[in-house]
Amino acid sequence: MRLHPIVLSTLMCAAGSMQPLCGQQIKTADEVVATMLARDGVRESASGGYIGNREYILENHTFQKRAQMLARVKCDPEGIKHFEVLSEDGWKSANKRVLREMLAAESDSSHPDTRTKSRITSDNYTFRSIEAGFLSGRTAYVIEVTPKRQDKSLFRGRIWVDAEDYALARVEREPAKNPSFWTRQVRFVQQYRKDGDYWFPAMTTSVTDARMFGATDVNIRYFDYKPVSGASNGPQISHQWRQKMTDTKLALILAAGNGTRIAARAGELPKPLVSMNGKPLLEHVITGARQAGIERFVVVIGYRGHAIKQWYESHPIEGVEVTWIANPNYKKDNGISVLCAKRVIHENFLLLMADHLFEPETARSLLRQPLGSEEVILGIDTNICRVFDLDDATKVRLEEDRIQEIGKSLRNYNALDTGMFHCSPTLFGWLELAATNGNCSLSDGLRLMAQNGTFKGFDIGEAQWQDVDTPAALDYAQHIVSPLIRNSSGIAGATYV
């Protein structure tokens, strides 16, 4: 297998989403980019270069193979990058022919004589302002970038530039020229984060569609980045990365509620079986999670649970184990449904709602976030203005990556709850602690975790999602979310508890 190396010479950026700022005057795109380049020069001179660590994960969906690499990078004052591979695991040929070649290509392109040919400058690109808005709680400019020549080292797409620091904050791109005949399409999302006075890479997500090998994802996590001027000597790996990351393969789906607000469309059906484009909502959720890498499911049912089981038995979906849990107290808050699964879940899991639709890639990205042994990570949407029914949405107040408050009645908030959680089993203990008179909501337990500093947020960026709680929300979801959900078939191997 050989895929064209990903050129990462100038582009890594911070997760987030945009909305227009009413009444704000937008600078010209050329002015924004020129200021960004000037500020970059000042930051680079002050830093003396930087050092950091990266984790690469490659997954090929056609052959179901995976490669993982841990590497250390040192960027010298001239901007030249030097890499050291610290460990490799998994698919050996992909590590050798893809990941190592990516390191070599990035190192080569970082040399000054080569770097000028690919930098985001007016010599290489034309720029057009699109809007100004919010990105992870900060004002940013969104600029359309068009290459001036068909060159594999250039790209077309959009960039987000932080309006305060004039630093590159996000890039969505595809190559200006197809890397090779064997590659149909390559798509990238690249992110930065601010740390003190500097902006360091945070995450790169890419999908390559090759003619022979199908879809291959390459995801890069960046950690322990610091300027050389403030770094100590010798390689250092933070504790959370010393231990090999384990994959979460289990999902808990809450499907017990009455669904009274959608009854006009549901009739006698339980809400998880309400049809959207010919398939029940629950099937969309299961297939989306399956595409994200989930292999086993625990589904908590209550209202008309027998109908949901009958649907499953008559419409099996191949390749997934399902354990059904009955919640006789389904009229209570949803925290009780979560607690019903405590006796069968003893590992990290993805918590989903049977009426929340999402893009599989969003769930996959959430599952790749490092999860502490006592943490929960919520997928959040900072693109508040686009939500279909803001009054009904659960609000979140976030400070950096830590959630401080959660609830539908919050007045001071900067993100929304997407109904998708990457959880450690410690969640069960917090729900038990939050319970009053035998009842608690999921948010009750999460508020205690927020106070404890163990409730984190992961920004889903521009990804689409929808809570289908009413007939109007269902109609909206069919037009916005449904096209993003790929069809699949078959579950086998159910266990009834």
Q: What is the mean pLDDT of residues 301-315?
A: 91
pLDDT at residue 180, rounded to an integer: 54
Q: Smallest Cα–Cα separation from 490: which of 245, 237, 232, 316?
A: 316
Query: Does residue 81 sit in the same domain as residue 208?
Result: yes
Query: Does residue 200 sit in the same domain as residue 133?
Result: yes
pLDDT (tens digit per residue) in 264-275: 666 778 989 988
Q: Give the residue carrying structure tokens 């993805």.
A: 350
Does residue 315 belong to any structural domain of this protein? yes
The pTM for the full model equals 0.53
More confident residue, 124 or 115: 124
In this structure, the strands spanning 250-255 and 349-353 are parallel
Query: Does residue 218 sit in the same domain as residue 285?
Result: no
Pairwise CA distance, residues 260 & 263, whole Å: 5
Query: Does residue 320 sit in the same domain as residue 359?
Result: yes
Mapped onto helix, strand or coil, the DSSP state of residue 396 is strand
pLDDT (tens digit per residue) in 36-62: 988 888 888 777 889 999 999 988 888
Domain finish residue from 195, 228, 261? 228
Query: Does residue 224 sit in the same domain as residue 257?
Result: no
Query: Does residue 173 sit in the same domain as residue 286?
Result: no
Residue 151 CA to its chain's centroid (Å): 29
Query: Does residue 123 sit in the same domain as residue 44?
Result: yes
Does residue 408 belong to any structural domain of this protein? yes
More confident residue, 176 or 286: 286
Does residue 182 belong to any structural domain of this protein? yes
Query: Does residue 425 sit in the same domain as residue 489?
Result: yes
CB 58 within 8 A of CB 99: yes
Is the pLDDT at 497 greater than 70, yes or no? no
pLDDT at residue 263, rounded to an integer: 64
User: How many domains, in total, are found in the chain?
Assistant: 2
Query: Does residue 406 sit in the same domain as residue 283?
Result: yes
Structure tokens that stand for 255 in this block: 């499907």
Q: What CATH number should be reported for the domain holding residue 82?
A: 2.50.20
Is the pLDDT at 111 greater than 70, yes or no? yes
Is the pLDDT at 443 greater than 90, yes or no? yes
Q: What is the mean pLDDT of residues 442-470?
A: 90
pLDDT at residue 14, rounded to an integer: 31
Does residue 291 belong to any structural domain of this protein? yes
Query: Does residue 414 sit in the same domain as residue 466?
Result: yes
Q: What CATH number should be reported for the domain holding residue 467?
A: 3.90.550.10
Torsion sign over Cα 482, 485, 488, 494: negative
Query: Does residue 259 sit in the same domain as residue 201?
Result: no
Does residue 139 belong to any structural domain of this protein? yes
DSSP state letter for 293: T
Does residue 8 belong to any structural domain of this protein? no
Does residue 145 belong to any structural domain of this protein? yes
CB 7 within 8 A of CB 123: no
The domain of 317 spans: 250-496
Query: Does residue 177 sit in the same domain as residue 36?
Result: yes
Phi, psi for residue 384 in degrees, rounded to 5 = -65, -40
Does residue 1 belong to any structural domain of this protein? no
pLDDT (tens digit per residue) in 176-223: 876 654 455 678 888 898 888 889 998 898 877 765 667 888 889 898
CB 380 within 8 A of CB 418: yes
Is the pLDDT at 456 greater than 90, yes or no? yes
Name the average pLDDT for the chain.
82
pLDDT at residue 151, rounded to an integer: 87
Is the pLDDT at 232 greater than 70, yes or no? no
Residue 186 pairs in a beta bridge with 208
More confident residue, 189 or 317: 189
